[in-house]
């Protein structure tokens, strides 16, 4: 088994150990000089664990309240979106305002990264919309980003170097929590696109009132550089944590699950993907038979059929021409104890039709179900 695959083996932590409820008004991370110094440290798991443990922000949630609504709604409009760094703050806020969502489940948001103009993407979007937010740090970034971003910003430095995801809400966010899906140091190995990171994949959870019942909402981002088996393990970690967070309660999960049906650690990955895209492109729009995470979710009482548009891709081409078609379906909702209606896949473009992410926006309306009421 490759060394990188060994890092992704289950770490044995309980759901209680993975969940943190430590809310702060502002996260405090390493300085530019400290992050530069980390690049000289050994690229091994023990070194990563020491650095991980040294920074409380990797176990904290940044939470700020906005002008929330407390009316007794009988439905919730939920949006899920990978903003691809959150580089287009004003354009993203305009798009989200038009969708009139109650809660947005968001991933790939920067704080103080050169590639996104050193902005705090989620805080600024929340301020423009007058909404509350909860942010969790996925990674402390040692580099400027992927291979494209390192070229584009080669003469710059990240002021804060934080990357993560979170919740944006027009409703009160109750009991915000950070869930660490793993803390292996997988990206500390300096293998993937030259990116060097402290941290690991996360989900951000909260409860939102729906007709007097707390509904668990979870924004999640699964590992992009692994395979179906590992994604199923991450789904198990996520569902176990939700059961600890709110046993039996109605729940909706949304995010980028990276269900590309293949294993990125396979040395023939690129060639295999290109071949399958030509011969069986439908597998990338209906990945369920190739991704055991779906069957696991079904066994645990979650549905995805009613809350997603079938066979509609959720990736799109950026202004730089990547990724190239055919586009695939890797963003999903999963619900438990809720009735879902009117699922949509909405183009992630600005008023001029220019892409503002490489992921489309998902939206769905949920209401209490008999199952949810019984729970």
CATH code where residue 196 lies? 3.60.10.10
How many CB atoms within 10 Å of residue 163? 28
Whether 211 contacts 202, CB under 8 Å: no
Domain count, the chain: 1
SS (H, E, C) 85-128: ECCCHHHHHHHHHHHCCCEEEEEEEEECCHHHCCCEHHHHHHHH
Pairing state between β 251-256 and 213-221: parallel
- Report the C-alpha gap between 165 and 178 in whole angstroms: 10
Whether 73 contacts 221, CB under 8 Å: no
Q: How confident is the model at residue 374 (pLDDT cuts 50, 70, 90)?
A: very low
Whether 366 contacts 307, CB under 8 Å: yes
Coil, helix or strand at residue 54:
helix
Instruction: Return the structure tokens found at 38.
Output: 């980390």
- Report the C-alpha gap between 346 and 122 in whole angstroms: 20
29-43, 154-168, 177-191: range with lowest mean pLDDT: 177-191
Q: Report whether pLDDT(43) > 90.
A: no
Instruction: Return the structure tokens found at 17.
Output: 């150990």
Q: Report whether pLDDT(36) > 80.
A: yes
Q: Report whether pLDDT(140) > 80.
A: yes
SS (H, E, C) 223-282: CCCCCHHHHHHHHHHHHHHHHHHCCCCCEEEEEECCCCCCCCCCCCHHHHHHHHHHHCHH
Higher-confidence residue of 170 and 373: namely 170
Provide the percentage of residues in the chain whose pLDDT is more than 70.
96
Supply the range of the domain harboring residue 146.
3-374
Q: Report whether pLDDT(10) > 90.
A: no
Q: Which of 294, 301, 302, 304 is nearest to 343 (CA)?
A: 304
| pLDDT tens, position by position, 293-322 | 999 999 999 999 999 999 999 999 998 888
- Report the C-alpha gap between 358 and 322 in whole angstroms: 8
Whether 96 contacts 168, CB under 8 Å: yes
For 13, the enclosing helix (H) or strand (E) is none
Q: Report whether pLDDT(11) > 90.
A: no
For residue 199, give every residue at least 6 positions away whose Cβ sits within 8 Å of its Cβ, in sequence order, or none.
Answer: 52, 58, 137, 138, 139, 140, 183, 187
Q: What is the per-residue pLDDT for 194?
A: 77
Higher-confidence residue of 99 and 324: namely 99
Computed on alpha carbons and rounded to an integer, the radius of gyration of the chain in Å comes to 19
- Report the C-alpha gap between 277 and 231 in whole angstroms: 21
| pLDDT tens, position by position, 325-358 | 889 999 999 999 999 999 999 999 999 999 999 9
Higher-confidence residue of 185 and 162: namely 162
Q: How confident is the model at residue 375 (pLDDT cuts 50, 70, 90)?
A: very low
- Report the C-alpha gap between 362 and 173 in whole angstroms: 20
Q: Report whether pLDDT(210) > 80.
A: yes
Q: What is the per-residue pLDDT for 242?
A: 98
Whether 64 contacts 111, CB under 8 Å: no
Rounded mean pLDDT of the chain? 93
- Report the C-alpha gap between 294 and 302 in whole angstroms: 9
Look at phi and psi of residue 193 and say left if phi exceeds 0, alpha if psi is from -120 to 50, else beta.
left
- Report the C-alpha gap between 306 and 313 in whole angstroms: 16
35-44, 126-135, 224-233, 249-258: range with lowest mean pLDDT: 35-44
């Amino acid at each position: 088994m490759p060394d990188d695959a060994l890092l992704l083996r289950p770490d044995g932590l309980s759901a209680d150990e993975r969940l943190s409820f430590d809310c702060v008004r502002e996260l405090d991370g390493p300085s530019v000089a400290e992050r530069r110094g980390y690049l000289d440290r050994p690229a091994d798991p023990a070194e990563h664990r020491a650095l991980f443990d040294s920074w409380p922000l990797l176990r904290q949630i940044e939470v700020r309240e906005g002008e929330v609504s407390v009316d007794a709604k009988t439905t919730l409009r939920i949006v899920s979106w990978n903003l691809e760094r959150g580089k287009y703050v004003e354009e993203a806020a305009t798009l989200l305002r038009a969708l009139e969502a109650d809660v947005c489940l968001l991933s790939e948001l920067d704080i103080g990264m050169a590639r996104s103009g050193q902005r705090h993407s989620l805080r600024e979007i929340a301020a423009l919309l007058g909404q509350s937010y909860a942010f969790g740090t996925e990674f402390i970034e040692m580099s400027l980003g992927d291979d494209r971003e390192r070229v584009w910003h080669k003469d710059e430095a990240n002021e804060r170097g934080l990357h993560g995801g979170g919740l944006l809400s027009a409703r009160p966010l109750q009991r915000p929590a950070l869930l660490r899906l793993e803390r292996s140091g997988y990206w500390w190995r300096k293998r993937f696109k030259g990116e060097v990171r402290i941290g690991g994949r996360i989900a951000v959870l909260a409860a939102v009132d729906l007709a007097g019942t707390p509904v668990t909402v979870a924004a999640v981002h699964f590992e992009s550089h692994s395979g179906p088996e590992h994604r199923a393990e991450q789904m198990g970690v996520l569902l176990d944590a939700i059961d600890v967070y709110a046993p039996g309660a109605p729940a909706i999960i949304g995010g980028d699950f990276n269900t590309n049906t293949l294993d990125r650690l396979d040395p023939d990955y690129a060639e295999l993907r290109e071949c399958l895209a030509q011969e069986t492109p439908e597998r990338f729009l209906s990945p369920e038979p190739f991704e055991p995470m779906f069957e696991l979710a079904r066994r645990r009482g979650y549905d995805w059929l009613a809350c997603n548009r079938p066979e509609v891709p959720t990736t799109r081409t950026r202004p730089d021409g990547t990724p190239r078609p055919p586009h695939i379906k890797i963003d999903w909702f999963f619900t438990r104890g809720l009735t879902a209606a009117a699922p949509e896949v909405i183009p992630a473009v600005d008023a001029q039709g220019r892409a503002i992410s490489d992921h489309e926006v998902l939206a769905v309306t949920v209401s209490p179900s008999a199952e949810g009421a019984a729970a």
